[in-house]
Amino acid sequence: RRVGQYDVLGALGSGAEATVFEGHQPNLDRPVALKMLSHALVHKESFADRFGREARIIAQLDHEHIVKVYDCVEDWGTQFIVMEKLSGTLLEDIVLDKSRTLAWGATRRILKEVCLGLAHSHAQGLLHRDIKPSNVFLTQDRRVKILDFGIALEQGDGEQDPNSLVGTPYYMAPERILGKSADGRSDLYSVGIMAYEM
């Protein structure tokens, strides 16, 4: 099966909003990941708009610690984001594995690389707003890649409606929960919660 010019090789994982497939780009002979918006959400304007925004935002953020976006495609009656194919594991899987503990040196390096990626995002005026272990990927050589900029926001914009907050409350800074204007420190608060869990 194909999505646009991309060969679809199989599913890598799925969630409530999207499914990620392993793919191949024949003309450049490179592996890719294809993130597909759930068909159930295609006609829900807020989800479709957010999905498209994610592709545009990540495409602007060229940094070694942020996942790369190559393309955005409409096919199979939905939208796809074409990204670099990553091999490794989510930080969440390591944090939840109670049989092992992250060494201090590894913890410090991971947090440093998350902060370097966020510093680049913040320099472009964008807040991630959903930093947590399930949005931090560790490649096989243990380099950090920040994932999922679907709810990113320009710095200084308020949440506008505290009753319809997006993100993960456990990791949210107080000013975000109150619907106030936020800046890069809100993302750093989330990094602090993640550091505690690590």
Name the residues annotated as catalytic: 130
- CA separation for the pair 182, 189 (Å, rounded): 11
Q: Closest Cα partner for 63 from 93, 32, 92, 84?
A: 84
Query: For the chain, how many residues are written?
Result: 198
**What are the helix (H) ranges across 26-181?**
45-60, 91-96, 104-123, 174-177
44-47 contacts: CB < 8 A, separation 24 or more? Answer: 47/17
Residue 83 to residues 56, 63, 114, 148: CA-CA distances in angstroms? 12, 14, 19, 11
Calculate the dihedral angle through the C-alpha atoms of 166, 167, 169, 171, rounding to the nearest 10 degrees.
Answer: -150
